[in-house]
Amino acid sequence: MYTMLRSILTVFLSYLLRTSLCCETVRKGVTWSFETGDIYFPSIDSPELCGELCSINTDIQCAGYTWQSGVLNLCFLFKELGPMHACEGECISGAASKIIDGEERICGGEADHILSIHSADNLQNCSRICKEYENCSSLTWFNSSSVAFKNTCFLFSSCESQAPCEDCWSQIFTCLPVSLPAQCYEYNIMNENSRSEFHNAVSDRVWYYDSVTGLGTTTALIGAETSPCWKGEGWYRMMEPAGKYIRTHEVSRFQCGTEFGAYIKPGEEETHPEMTGDTIEVEIGFDSYAWNANVTNCDGFFVYYLIDHDAVRYCATSNL
């Protein structure tokens, strides 16, 4: 009889879940900025314990956590989750979870299957198993008093609705934002005021090139120097007061604090990728000269993979 009940409930749960959703609940190597009001604890032995602290802590309304391994094994709890960035050393971060208590409920929702079913002697172990699955966003655990599912852990890709059940608890994890490529965390910054599209090199009688040599093609002006923010070939982010983007239309001579300003060539179907995390290749240059560059959408800003060029400077604008 118990076997039949188990089979019927499993089929029922599978019916409830119709659309598989990818949900990343933990991520390695990145964290959030530690701000006023956030707290931390030393000597926390594992990321799982750090996550549990986030769920039960009453000092702050914890939105996410970071566990940093090392001599102190620090656990950071965050009130708000902003943009993520690379952490120093080894770390694991995750969003807060919600335990449905006070009323025994089983997870349902839209997905076409249950991710997995496991044995677990407590809710914490069921939670640890869930975190081993990339798209596990919720779970339901039946305790030892359950007749049909004694100490059983159901893993789900969503928990958009719940149904009554006996001897069970459910836990819902918050999905982290879309994982961004490494260049969204590790990049150089270009923010010189002279790089702005409105800056004229003639008025200063000094101009710059994005080249480690700083040598230009003419001696029409007094100076020919390496741009202060130029570090050689690599990923760059444009920031004010220079601007937020590489200009996408033609640049006049001596704009942007240089003799020849480089811009993304017009006629491109897409000069900047629309989807977060996407990278596209564009054509960049000046006059009749052009070369390829990559642009990545980093969820609120863009980064550009730029090469060293002793004849130009990449021109910045505040508007696309």
CA 5 to each of CA 2, 168, 189: distance values in angstroms, whole numbers, following the listed order = 5, 16, 61
The model's confidence at residue 93, banded by pLDDT at 50, 70 and 90, is: very high
Residues whose CB falls within 8 Å of the CB of residue 6, separated by 6 or more in sequence, listed in order: 148, 149
**Higher-scoring residue by pLDDT: 7, 59:** 59
Q: What is the pLDDT of residues 201-233, one digit of tens each?
A: 777 777 888 988 655 444 444 557 889 999 999
Last-in-domain residue among 173, 200, 217: 173
pLDDT at residue 120, rounded to an integer: 95
The Cα 89–Cα 243 span in angstroms is: 32
Whole-Å CA distances, 38 to 28, 130, 136: 20, 26, 27
Same domain, 159 and 245: no
Asked if residue 191 and residue 310 are part of one domain, the reply reads yes
User: What does the pLDDT read at residue 197?
Assistant: 93
Helices and strands of the chain, counted as H and E runs: 4, 25
Residue 265 burial by Cβ neighbours in a 10 Å radius (0-12, 13-18, 19+): middle
pLDDT score for 14: 39
Tell me: do 241 and 259 sit in the same domain.
yes
Three-state secondary structure readout of 96-119: CEEEECCCCEEEECCCCCCCEEEE
CA 186, chain centre distance (Å) = 12
Specify whether 188 is located in the same domain as 150. Answer: no
- Dihedral (CA of 243, 248, 252, 257) sign: positive
pLDDT of residue 35: 93
Q: What is the predicted pLDDT for the residue at 219?
A: 45
**What is the pLDDT averaged over residues 259-268?**
85
Q: Which domain holds residue 264?
A: 182-317
Whether residues 187 and 311 share a domain: the answer is yes
What is the rounded distance in angstroms from the CA atom of residue 69 to the CA atom of residue 48? 12
Residues 9 and 139 in one domain: yes
Q: Say if residue 252 is exposed, middle or buried (CB neighbours under 10 Å; 0-12, 13-18, 19+).
A: exposed
Burial class (CB in 10 A: 0-12, 13-18, 19+), 3: exposed
Last residue of a domain, one of 144, 173, 202: 173
Q: Could you give the percent of the chain with pLDDT greater than 90?
A: 41
Indicate whether 66 and 139 sit together in one domain: yes
- Residue (of 165, 166, 153, 101) closest to 126 by Cα position: 153
Q: What is the pLDDT of residue 162?
A: 76
Q: Please compute the mean of the pLDDT values over residues 130-134 and round it to a whole number.
A: 80
Q: Give the tokens for residue 129.
A: 């198993």
Last residue of a domain, one of 108, 143, 173: 173
Tell me the C-alpha distance between 151 and 117, whole Å.
Answer: 11
User: 4-18, 114-128, 287-301: lowest mean pLDDT where?
Assistant: 4-18
Interval 150-166: pLDDT, tens:
999 999 887 777 778 88
Tokens of 224: 């020919």
- Chain centre distance of CA 319: 24
- Same domain for 269 and 190: yes
Instruction: Give yes or no: residues 153 and 246 share one domain.
Output: no
Same structural domain for residues 46 and 191? no
Q: Read off the pLDDT of residues 164-192 as tens digits, 9 standing for 90 and up.
A: 888 888 888 887 877 788 898 889 999 99
Indicate if the pLDDT at residue 22 is higher than 60. Answer: no
Count of domains for the chain:
2
* Spatial separation of the C-alpha atoms in residues 15 and 67, rounded to whole Å: 37
Q: Report the alpha-carbon distance of residue 318 to residue 320 in Å, rounded.
A: 7
The pLDDT score that the predictor gives to residue 92 is: 93
Torsion of the alpha carbons at 161, 166, 167 and 173, rounded to the nearest 10: 0
Write the DSSP symbol of residue 8. Answer: H
CATH code of 162's domain: 3.50.4.10
Question: Do 223 and 167 belong to one domain?
Answer: no
Q: Are residues 164 and 18 in the same domain?
A: yes
How far is residue 246's CA from residue 257's CA, in Å, rounded to a whole number? 14
Q: What is the pLDDT of residue 283?
A: 94
Evaluate whether 246 touches 319 at the Cβ level (below 8 Å): no
Quick one: three-class SS letters along 214-283?
CCCCCCCCCCCEECCCCCCCEEEEECCCCCCEECCCCCCCCECCCCCEEEECCCCCCCCCCCCCCEEEEE
